[in-house]
Amino acid sequence: MAKGKATELQASADVEALRRIASELGRVARAILLSATKDATESEQAFYLNLAGFAPVEIAAMYGEPTNVIGARISNVRKAKEKAAKRQRQP
């Protein structure tokens, strides 16, 4: 095998290994986030996962729910928190 082909194959293997590592790190991050919010409702968990950078489609896959359901949960929690904050600011 030519040296160029061997280097190309190694680079391809390295990329695949990095993808697997990134995937596993993502699983670990999700597990940590879910355990940190275990006392929260599913809606609050979805909200906090979204704040942590997970997209509604990713959260939906974690919960096995439709994306629009997760989006509604996130929106409802956000609105409730905004309303509560507004009440606290009023004298």
Residue-wise DSSP of 6-35: HHHHHHHHHHHHHHHHHHHHHHHHHHHHHH
Number of domains in the chain: 2
Q: Are residues 54 and 86 in the same domain?
A: yes
Residue 80 zone, left/alpha/beta (φ > 0; ψ -120 to 50; rest)? alpha
Query: Does pTM top 0.75 for this prediction?
Result: no
pLDDT of residue 79: 96
Residue 6 has pLDDT above 90, yes or no: no
Q: Are residues 31 and 48 in the same domain?
A: no
- Residues of the domain holding 58: 39-91
Q: Are residues 80 and 47 in the same domain?
A: yes
Q: Are residues 44 and 81 in the same domain?
A: yes
Residue 22 has pLDDT above 70, yes or no: yes
